[in-house]
Amino acid sequence: MLTDSDGNIVSKVVNEISGATYIEQDLDGDDDLDDQITIPEPSTGGYSIAVIPEPGRTRTNKSR
């Protein structure tokens, strides 16, 4: 989940930033889905990113 300095959120289920996209696809060829957020016209100010594991996963495990 990504939050901009105004509190707008982009996640799997919410997109409050105009033009932003959230996709899930295998970006690195390891047969696991990866998450990617793109913001074509970023605003000034900071962004916060929260990594939220999928159900049954942790931030450190990766199935093979």
Condensed to tens digits (0 to 9), the pLDDT of residues 19-42 reads 999 999 999 999 988 999 999 999
| Contact by Cβ (8 Å): 26, 32 | yes
Predicted model pTM: 0.76
Q: How far apart are CA 29 and CA 52, in angstroms?
A: 21
Q: What mean pLDDT value characterizes the chain? A: 89
What does the block give as tokens for 31? 């047969």
Instruction: Please answer whether residues 49 and 9 qualify as being in contact, where contact means their C-beta atoms are separated by less than 8 angstroms.
Output: no
Which three-class secondary structure string do you get for 2-46?
EEECCCCEECCCCECCCCCEEEEECCCCCCCCEEEEECCCCCCCC
